[in-house]
Each structure stands twice: as structure tokens, then as C-alpha cells.
Amino acid sequence: MVNELWFYWWLERLGWPHSYLGKIFLIAFVATHLPLLFLIGFLVFGPTDPAKLAIFWLVLLATLFDTVLSLWAF
């Protein structure tokens, strides 16, 4: 059973967040922002294209909107 709950065990060892709901929210927050970080890496190190800035702003605004909705629902 411990092997099945390794991720929860790891979150418990962090000591923060304390509640189960907080742990779920932390996972959702990281999962929401991880694609944005990969996009920033692609835009910085990827091929040069003028449309990259428009793509960046679109994804950034969508991520921020999603974060606001998540916080509102929390």
C-alpha cells in the first residue's frame, strides 16, 4: 500500500500544506503553471519568430485566468 501512496507520503514529508485540500490545490497550481514554464523555455530557446510574443501573451493570460478561477472556486 505504501508504494501506491508514495506521492502523498512525499507531500506529507514536505510539511506544507497541512490539509488534504491544500495538497490538492498545490498539485493543481503546479500542474497549471508547468506548461507555462515550458512555453517560456521554448520561446526563449526556440526558433526566432515574431508571432512568439503573441503566443506567450495568449498563454499567460489564459493561465492567469485559470488561476483566478481556481482560487475563486477554492
The verdict on residue 64 lying in a domain is: yes
The verdict on residue 51 lying in a domain is: yes
Question: Position 49: which residue type?
Answer: D
User: pLDDT at position 35, please?
Assistant: 80
Q: How many separate domains does the chain show? A: 1
pLDDT tens per residue across span 15-63: 788 888 888 888 888 877 788 888 888 878 877 777 877 887 888 888 8
Structural domain containing residue 64: 6-73
The verdict on residue 15 lying in a domain is: yes
The verdict on residue 57 lying in a domain is: yes
The verdict on residue 1 lying in a domain is: no
The verdict on residue 41 lying in a domain is: yes
The verdict on residue 50 lying in a domain is: yes
The verdict on residue 55 lying in a domain is: yes
Question: Position 9: which residue type?
Answer: W
* DSSP secondary structure code for residue 18 in this structure: -
The model's pTM is: 0.54
User: pLDDT at position 1, please?
Assistant: 52
- Check pLDDT > 80 for residue 13: yes
